[in-house]
Structure 1
Amino acid sequence: MRSKSKTILYSGFLSGTLDILAAIVIYVVILHQTTAVKILQSIASGIFKQEAYTSGSKMAFYGLLLHYFIALVFAYIYFKIYPYFPILRKNIFLSGLIYGLFVWVVMNLIVLPAVFSKLPDKQFDFPLLLSILILVFCIGLPISYITRNFYEKH
């Protein structure tokens, strides 16, 4: 039997891990666009601004902590809204898709513009589609699956 807290922690840490691993595999290993440290530093720059890029692995660690904090917040939100939205209970793939898109909208249209004064323009292209797919498969689906399993057993 899993508690509410353990369910949220599990779904948050799993989705956070899948998301950061997907980013590293795609942007570092496959596309050779950056490094893992720079990905994590860019996350830390949401709080530490330009200083995040000058403090090496320390800021990468802070970026990883911030990344997991954000994943846990999204896991918590989904867990709390799940009982109130019947569409989330109908189909795990549909709910994962919807929530992954919701996470993308919140992060890219609300959080990032609020944190950073200048962002590149969004174009409907492969990188945009890839970022959406990562959030759907690495955040939306794991969180919806784990949360549904909790509620079905309780």
Structure 2
Amino acid sequence: MNKFWKTVLTTTVLAGTADIIAATLMAWMRSGKFPAKILHYIAGGGLGLERSMKGGASTALLGLCFHYFIAFSFTLLFFLAFPRLVFLQGNKYLTGFFYGQFVGMFMAFVVLPLSALPPSPFKLGNALISWTVLSVAIGIPVAMMTNKFYKSSTV
């Protein structure tokens, strides 16, 4: 495996893990109890919520696969866009913050409406909190790793 793919996969694992930890902590803080079925909920995007919440370990594993596939997709998109879009090569923290906002908006307005999850009302305050968490968990790490990769490599 070449350096590009190793870096993309490493970044995916880092960002995806940070994101699932952040999502778990946010759900716990909102409800006051540990969200034991968070991976089942993610699997609900493909299976439907009612079916996924009745599932067992294999459903949770499917949710984990969906989660990391989404993290991989957004990581790869940034790695591929970075050398082509000069504005991404500016301040890596600011770029990462705004990329996290983009990821949040894309998930909220494109991915989730196309999923099998039931629609939920859009609440700007909740969205801004979630998108900021995505900026910290996904956007900034992806921007930092991408910046480091392209500065140290000749691709």
Query: TM-score, length-normalised on structure 2?
Result: 0.90
Per-residue deviation, 1:31: 2.9
Matches of residues 100-119 of structure 1 in structure 2 within 5 Å? 100-116=100-116, 118-119=118-119
> How has the CA–CA distance of structure 1 residues 130 and 12 changed in structure 2, closer, same or farther, with 3 Å as cutoff?
same
The alignment-based identity, stated in percent, is: 32
The offset of 1:60, in angstroms, is 1.4
Q: Name the structure 2 match of 1:129.
A: 128
Match of 1:138 in 2: 137
Per-residue deviation, residues 65-97 of structure 1 (Å, max 9, x unmatched):
110111011111100000111111110111101
> How far apart, CA to CA, are the structure 1 residues paired with 2:108 and 2:10?
25
- Check if 1:67 corresponds to 2:63: no
Aligned length: 151
Per mean C-alpha deviation after superposition, the further-off stretch among 52-61 and 17-26 is 52-61
Q: Distance in 2 between matches of 1:68 and 1:147?
A: 18
Seen in structure 2, the aligned counterparts of structure 1 residues 117 and 7 have a Cα distance that, compared at 3 Å, is closer
Structure-1 residue corresponding to 2:37: 38
Q: Using the alignment, how far apart are the partners of 2:117 and 2:139 within structure 1?
A: 27
Compared CA separation, residues 24 and 106, structure 1 to 2 (3 A): same
Deviations 1:10-46 (A, max 9, x none): 1111100000001112212x33356433211111011
Secondary structure of 1:119's counterpart equals coil
> Could you tell me whether the CA contact under 8 Å between 2:44 and 2:117 is conserved in 1?
no
1:26 aligns with 2:26: yes
SS of 1:120's partner is coil
Q: Residue by residue, what CA displacement relative to the aligned partner does 1:98-146 show, whole Å, maximum 9, x if unpaired?
A: 2111111111000101114741221222x22220111100010011100
Residue 3 of structure 2 is aligned to residue 3 of structure 1: yes
Query: Counterpart in 1 of 2:57?
Result: 57
CA contact (8 A) 2:101 2:134 kept: yes
Q: Which residue is 1:47 aligned to?
A: 46
Structure 1 unaligned blocks of 5 or more: none
What is the match of residue 149 of structure 1?
148
- Alpha-carbon RMSD across the aligned residues, in angstroms, is 1.6
Gaps of 5+ in 2: none
TM score, norm. by length of structure 1? 0.91
